[in-house]
Structure 1
Amino acid sequence: MKIIDQAGLTIHQLPDGPLQTNAYWIDTGTISCLVDPILDPRNRPEGASRLSLILATHGHFDHIGRSDDWRAMAAVKLAIHSDEASYLPDARLNGSAYFGAATEYFPAEILLHDQQVIQLDSRTSLLVIHTPGHTPGGVCLLVLQNQQAMALLTGDTLFAGTVGRVDLPGGQAAQLMASLDRLVRISEIYGQDVPVLPGHGSVTTLRDEMRANPFLTGKARFK
């Protein structure tokens, strides 16, 4: 499904994998990248331009499960936050050990850091926002075109109406709440109507989450 479709930028939401994780294909018309490579390579969008990079919002198996396939097929590199590097080759940390198919993935070739800018083309970039809590190295990716915020990819940090769990290895409730505060501050810079593209479930906006998400309104806290 196309979430963003305009001149110079198309973003497809492509649910796939055992937990129906949302992979996102970002295409500028001249270059493209895949965020959260759980997508079966056979489900690649038709007419998508050259794939240059794959990125993971975090290192859980339901987000990185086809990363080795993509790297072998398309000769691209995988980028993940430096605090998440240990998750890929560790079946316990990446969660695959708990779902009956313990898998060790190849290490990421690129290690990201907070506030890093990934330039896709002359107009389009991704801003890396470190949002620990669900995992130590979770990130959100702000898609910018001509410095205008087009979408915020939130992985398992923020969903429509709720947030990511913190009871898995490396999860910390206090960190996640601080990360949510960082996302709220994005609205102060780019406005509240920025589309939020989560790792699971439906698309929402910062405005809707600030208005109704109990973890952002203060009505819900982690026990």
Structure 2
Amino acid sequence: MNVKKFHKGYYDANSYLINGKVLIDTGINTDALIAEIEKSIYINDLELIVLTHCHYDHTAAAEAIAKKSGARIAIHKDDVELLHHDEASASEAFDSRAPSFEPDILLDDGESIPIGNGEYLEIIHTPGHTPGCICLYEPISKSLFSGDTVFPQGSIGRTDFIGGNSANISESIQKLTQLDVRTMYPGHGETTSDNVKRQIELSYRMAKSIFKII
């Protein structure tokens, strides 16, 4: 699997271009991200934009990139309503309005997205940061695109936004501990391949400790 990471601004989420055809998350800096994508592929080769959740720092550039490339936009069905809400999408924090586009594809847990070369991304519903938060797992390369559910070194996503839920994120992280992960591609921060399973287990311990879950 070929993965290219883009991070174009301090407040941007990470964006990942996979096999030259699928983009995970888009950040805020539309023009800068499009320029980086066009250094790697013809923009019209982009087929799909997958949003790990509804927050503005992950979604703001999606509509413009979709219009320029013709790519479809996918998000979990449980985050659609929040996507269009100024406060719930966190767009207010950026002095902006929530996105108005309608997703082309509504995702659900357990679905798969083919990405070429016999590889695919498995949709793992991981509510807690938002109701429709997802992670994406590629089993051949053992890669996890973890969005804002877990981060390296035992960190976890916030649950104090609208739709956040501490019990749910703890259960979601526990689900991720069952995966065989070689490389984690988080929504923020650096990619890691350093004993990732152990790092996710630390995230689960952190969640249980913070939220007093037995």
Q: More displaced, 152-161 or 100-109? A: 100-109
Q: Deviations over 1:62-110 (max 9, x none)?
A: 0001011111101111000000111222211111113222233312110
- In structure 2, what is the Cα distance between the partners aligned to 1:84 and 1:219? 25
- In structure 1, what is the Cα distance between the partners aligned to 2:134 and 2:76? 7
TM-score by length of 2: 0.87
CA contact (8 A) 2:149 2:157 kept: yes
Q: 2:7 aligns with which of 3, 9, 15?
A: 15
Counterpart position of 1:99: 94
Counterpart position of 1:209: 199
Q: 1:176 aligns with which of 163, 169, 173?
A: 169
- In structure 1, what is the Cα distance between the partners aligned to 2:200 and 2:92? 35
**When you count helix as a share of all residues, which structure comes out higher?**
2
User: Which structure 1 residue ranges, 5 or more long, are not aligned?
Assistant: 1-8, 188-192
Q: Which amino acid aligns with 1:196?
A: M
Identity %, equivalent residues: 30
Measure how far apart 1:36 and its partner are: 0.3
CA contact (8 A) 1:133 1:157 kept: yes
- In structure 2, what is the Cα distance between the partners aligned to 1:214 and 1:125? 25
Of the two structures, which has the highest relative contact order with CA contacts closer than 8 Å and spacing of 6 or more?
Answer: 2
Q: More displaced, 93-102 or 65-74? A: 93-102
Counterpart position of 2:210: 221
Q: 2:184 aligns with which of 167, 186, 196?
A: 196
Classify the secondary structure of the residue corresponding to 2:110.
coil
Q: Which amino acid aligns with 2:187?
A: G
CA contact (8 A) 2:50 2:74 kept: yes
Classify the secondary structure of the residue corresponding to 1:220.
helix
CA contact (8 A) 1:17 1:62 kept: no
- In structure 2, what is the Cα distance between the partners aligned to 1:83 and 1:114? 11
Note the 1:123-202 alignment, pairs <5 A.
Answer: 123-144=118-139, 148-161=140-153, 162-187=155-180, 193-202=181-190
**When you count strand as a share of all residues, which structure comes out higher?**
1
- In structure 2, what is the Cα distance between the partners aligned to 1:12 and 1:87? 28
Measure how far apart 1:207 and its partner are: 2.8
CA contact (8 A) 1:35 1:55 kept: yes
Question: Aligned Cα RMSD in Å?
Answer: 2.0
Classify the secondary structure of the residue corresponding to 1:181.
helix
- In structure 1, what is the Cα distance between the partners aligned to 2:62 and 2:101? 8
Between Structure 1 and Structure 2, how many residues are aligned? Answer: 203
